[in-house]
Structures are given as structure tokens and as C-alpha cells.
Amino acid sequence: MSALEIVTLINDEDAQVALAVRQELAQIARAVEVVVERLQRGGRLFYFGAGTSGRLGVLDASEMPPTYNVPADLVQAFIAGGDAALRRSVEGAEDDREAGAQAVRGAKVGAADTVVGIAASGGTPWVLGAVGEAQRRGAATIALTCNPDSALARLADVAITPAVGPETIAGSSRMKAGTAQKMVLNMLSTATMVRLGKVYGNLMVDVQPTNAKLRRRAQRIVALACGLPLEEAAALLARCDGETKTAIVVGLAGVAPDEARRRLARAGGRIRDALGQSLIRDQRCSSLR
């Protein structure tokens, strides 16, 4: 096959992934409800996976603090073989079921937490050990696997099982299976943060402006939310000590920053509730990129 024929074949196979994930939307939504309920009562969200599955979990967890300003321990991820396996394959680690259970014990997973086991085949011993131990400790458990008829799917409380079919290269689960897992993790964490009030409309209002790019993004968010020129939004943000949510409440409610903070505290951080709005303005966010 020519290079073009190869990439066309891969693209044709990839086109089936979104359709497979779509068949699992009800289960993904159910998983979101489980996670939100647990987080609201002080729990945490954990991902446990091996190989590509583990790396995808670590990727998703690591992006939560800068994107949604949540504590670093709220969403945690563990990979078979430890952090060294993020850069170099540690293939034998996934076969150790007791090591998976020990990872759960080491993380002090408890009854208020949710554990997501990620394994394309649904039979990875390390992941099964982690999910089994999580259940013994009273945690809610979610399976993310591309094999509906698998030990992991049968073990967990909620099973998300996009059936993507055979890989272009037989057994290379970093391809369609990995893409499906990434899509599901995007949905799971994003929908959870939306339900927790971490966005306003579709604006990333809890972003941490820790570098120049994110400071500019925060300014654009305030400008869009409040209908202000960018320069005025920047001045408003500065007046509110760089706090995006506070600046939006100040801009829309016309209150002082301290009052805006009090309103947000009473509203659990939800801007809509802090403003007492039943509807929010239409946001145009293409300029946020």
C-alpha cells in the first residue's frame, strides 16, 4: 500500500470510533452522575490503567487543576509500573493483580471516592485488582473498556464499553481503542466539571491564569461574559486580583469584589446562582482559542 492508502485506511477506521462512543452515552452520563454525587460529598475521582490506558488517565487527571482550578488531589491517576511507565513501556507490570490492589490501598481510596478502571481488553490483571480492591473499600467503580463481554465490564458498578472493532494493526489498542478512551475521558471529566459549576455558559471561568496565554484567555472570558472591550476586561480582572469568576460577577451585578466573592461562596462557586439569573447570555467563544 502507498502512504496515502495506509492513512486513508486508518482514517476510515477512526471514523467508526465516534459512532461506537455514541452508543455508550447513556452509560457515560450515568457515570458522570455517580462521580458528581461523590465529589459533592467530599470524595475524589481516581483513574487506574496500564500502558496506553494508564497514560490517557494520567493525561486527563493532570489537566483538571489548570483548566478548572480544582485541587491536585481531586482527580488522580495511577499507571501500572509507576511514573516510569509514562515514558517507557513496563509491560510486565500489568500482570500483577496484587500491585493494582496495593495502588488503591496506597492512595487511601475510601467509600466517598470513585474509581475508574481503564483497560482496552477489559482483562488487565492490574486494573482488575485495583477495581476489586476499590469495591472492597466501598468506592463506586466505573469500567472503561472496549470489550463489552469482559471481566472488567462485569466487575464494575457502571460499564462504559465502546465496541470499536478490530484495530488496523491487529492488537494495537493505542489506535481506535485509545481514541475511544480519550473521547470518553474527555466527556466524563468535562461533564463532571460542568455539573459542578466550573463553567459559565461554555466559558472556562475557573481557569488558572498562570502564564501569559492563560492571562489573555481570562481577559477574553471576562470580556465575552460581560460584553466589555478587552482593555476594560483586563482592568476589571486586575481590580479583582485576577479572579475570573469574581470579575464576571462584579461586571454583571455591579457589586464590589468582596461582595462578589461572598455571593460566589454562598452559591458554591456557580456564577449563575451568584447572579440570581435564570438564563445566561449567548456566548460566542470561537475567539477563545
Catalytic residues, by residue number, are 63, 94
How far apart CA 54 and CA 58 sit, in angstroms, is 6
Cell (9 digits) for 47: 483513574
User: HEC states along 153-191?
Assistant: HHHCCEEECCCCCCCCCCCCCCCHHHHHHHHHHHHHHHH
The DSSP secondary structure of the chain, one letter per residue, reads --HHHHHHHHHHHHHHHHHHHHTTHHHHHHHHHHHHHHHHTT--EEEEE-HHHHHHHHHHHHTHHHHH---TTTEEEEETT-GGGGTS--GGGGG-HHHHHHHHHHTT--TT-EEEEE-SSS--HHHHHHHHHHHHTT-EEEEE-S-SSSHHHHHSSEEE-----S-SSTT-TTTHHHHHHHHHHHHHHHHHHHHTT--BTTB-TT----SHHHHHHHHHHHHHHHT--HHHHHHHHHHTTT-HHHHHHHHHH---HHHHHHHHHHTTT-HHHHHT-SS-PPP--GGG-
User: Which residues have a Cβ under 8 Å from the Cβ of 2 and sit 6 or more positions away?
Assistant: none
How far apart CA 234 and CA 229 sit, in angstroms, is 9
